[in-house]
Amino acid sequence: MRTRILLLFVFGALAWADDARLRGGNILACETYSFRDLIKAGKLDMLTVPAFYKELGIKGISYNDMFFKSLDDAYVDQIKAAVKKADRIVTCFIMEGNLATADEAKRRAQIEEDKTKLRVAHRLGAPLVRVNLGGTGKQADDETMGLDRVVAAFKELLPLARELNVKISIENHGGVSKTAATIVKVIQQTDPQWVGSLVDFGNFPNNVRYEEIPIVAPYALTTHVKVFEFDANGEAVEIDFPRVLAMLKKTSYKGPISIEYEGKGDPVEGVKKTKALILKYW
């Protein structure tokens, strides 16, 4: 009840929305990063997110580690309890970091930190993490030395991931993961049964987006569905939304359709408009 009162105070009288049902049985999810401004302003936190997502009719929560006050078991258990109380599902745990750095001490520390976060993901009930690959600072090195460092790090992480039954996804996110070809190399050089892609609609450059996405789509474990701007009819301005969704449909994708709003203006409205497009075209 206290959470409900807080959300009403912050966001106004939101009507409870029925959970969206997507054709194909995919779970509609949303990244906590979509609401980063609200979180930074103290209007939303990891404990109130589940009830808020219920208000929005979004079943899946993709939590980002940067917003966690702690990785301690007690705090993680509080979040897990809030998720259960709101009848939500944790779809992914987003892990930041750099596994491609030339600084061996920092790389070793990052591997150990990622192991800790894999355990957090498991405790939360997340079936999947996004491991950020990072970069060397030079694209040519990213595709050679950086790639080798990431593959070696993944081979250290995979035994624990298998033990915990948590899969690893790679987002097209710059650095070593800038190009689809390099992402696929990491997957194929590690374990395609446990490592896959996170298909972000917006991170590939505009001029290669529709050539790159089909390369990583067959390996997709989850998504970041981005719309930066909407026209007067609520359609996406910068991205051919139906075209990108069709690329996923072609692979019989069954994973989460997860909204990551990075546009201007009210993020709640941006998420709602993105949700409407997903319901229209998926």
Mean pLDDT for the stretch of residues 15-32: 92
pLDDT tens digit sequence for 163-210: 999 999 999 999 999 999 999 999 999 999 999 999 999 999 999 999
Give 9's pLDDT tier (boundaries 50, 70, 90). very low
**Listed residue (201, 188, 248, 184) closest to 23, CA to CA:** 248
pLDDT tens digit sequence for 136-159: 999 999 999 999 999 999 999 999
Q: Is residue 159 part of a domain?
A: yes
> What residue numbers bound the domain in which 227 lies?
15-281
Q: Is residue 1 part of a domain?
A: no
Q: Is residue 135 part of a domain?
A: yes
Q: How many domains does the chain have?
A: 1
**For the domain that residue 81 is a member of, what is the CATH number?**
3.20.20.150
Q: Is residue 36 part of a domain?
A: yes
Q: Is residue 6 part of a domain?
A: no
Q: Is residue 164 part of a domain?
A: yes
Q: Is residue 133 part of a domain?
A: yes
Q: Is residue 186 part of a domain?
A: yes
pLDDT score recorded for residue 22: 96
Give 17's pLDDT tier (boundaries 50, 70, 90). confident
Give 134's pLDDT tier (boundaries 50, 70, 90). very high
